[in-house]
Amino acid sequence: MLILLLLPVFGLFIWWWYHLDCDLETYIALKFGRSIDTLQGKTIWITGASSGIGEGLAYVLASVGCKLVLSATNESKLQDVAKRCVSIGKYDSKNVLVLPFNITDSECHQKMLDKVLQHFNKLDILINNAGRSQRASFIQIEPEVDKQLFDINVFGLVNLTRVVLRYFFEQNIDGQFGVTSSTAGLLGVPFSASYTGSKHALHGYFECLRTELGRRTISITMFCVGPVFSNLLEKAFTGETGKVVGGKQPVQSSRKLSSERCGYLMAVALANRIDQSWISLQPVLTIHYLAVYFPQIFRKVFPFFFNEKRSQEFRDG
């Protein structure tokens, strides 16, 4: 009798788990935590804002009245994003600053921050979202590819963070850093060794910073994001220097999260100052849990299911 009573409960749990697109802490914050409206009026700088996750996040933040700084290398795309942000936010165009630059040019980072402060007088949150992906087997990757990918995905972001952190310290601001990591920051995603290494490196740098901050009220949120609909493949590294995967933007898949839904969940994590937020549809979200909480079992089982073809399907949702 007890089993019969529990079956519907178990069925409801399975249905709920299947439709879950974030970790439990983020889900609780989504349902019962601070609203993203609490971000209204904050000045937020997003790198990698011309497409994908950064673009989706920009639209969400514009909808609640945030002042935005949009950065990437493609100025024309940034202008398009800015126009839509103004339309969504229903506020003056002065509330959106387009600031194109190359994240790998560390010499310009202080100048870029100065421009932000000249325009808005204050910065509250930096979103480290710039980055590029990769498709290549471990044995085929040239050393120069490792260096180039780390320059973009790690060293550029880390240096910009140091520049902004000094500003937070000097002005005694309770600032925030958001860092776009990935499933690859939690486990070894096959056929993306340089990319996976770069995301693990981000966790190392920012967890170290979190510890050093101690009792300071500056917070860091790591976004571990699964497959999201974007054009990352266009400029994704391969194993060969100067060669990219290329190809057109894929068709929206039901197993890939939309960039705006991803952006909304990121905004929830920011509003609630969550340390680490996992954002993904199933089954990738479950893979996050298995990799973190059952690592020994995961390491033995995972390789049997992921050859190169299966790995590609995994990333394509």
Which 8-state DSSP code applies to residue 108? G
Q: Which two tokens stand for residue 225?
A: 């994001």
173 alpha carbon, distance to own chain's centre: 23
C-alpha torsion angle, residues 190, 191, 197, 198 (rounded to 10)? -120
Place of tokens 């100025």: 75
Query: CA–CA separation, 227 vs 225, rounded Å?
Result: 7
The angle subtended at Cα 60 by Cα 218 and Cα 56, nearest 5°, is 100
CA-to-CA dists, residue 104 to 117, 130, 205, 299, angstroms: 21, 10, 17, 34
Residue 68 pairs with which residues in a beta bridge? 44, 96
Query: CA–CA separation, 129 vs 276, rounded Å?
Result: 15
Active-site residue among 27, 167, 195, 264? 195
Place of tokens 């989706």: 56
Query: CA–CA separation, 162 vs 168, rounded Å?
Result: 10
Has 293 been annotated as catalytic? no
C-alpha torsion angle, residues 91, 78, 237, 199 (rounded to 10)? -30
The 10 Å CB-count burial string (b at 16+, else e) for 37-73 is eebeebbbbbbbbbbbbbbbbbbbbbbbebbbbbbbb
Catalytic residues: 195
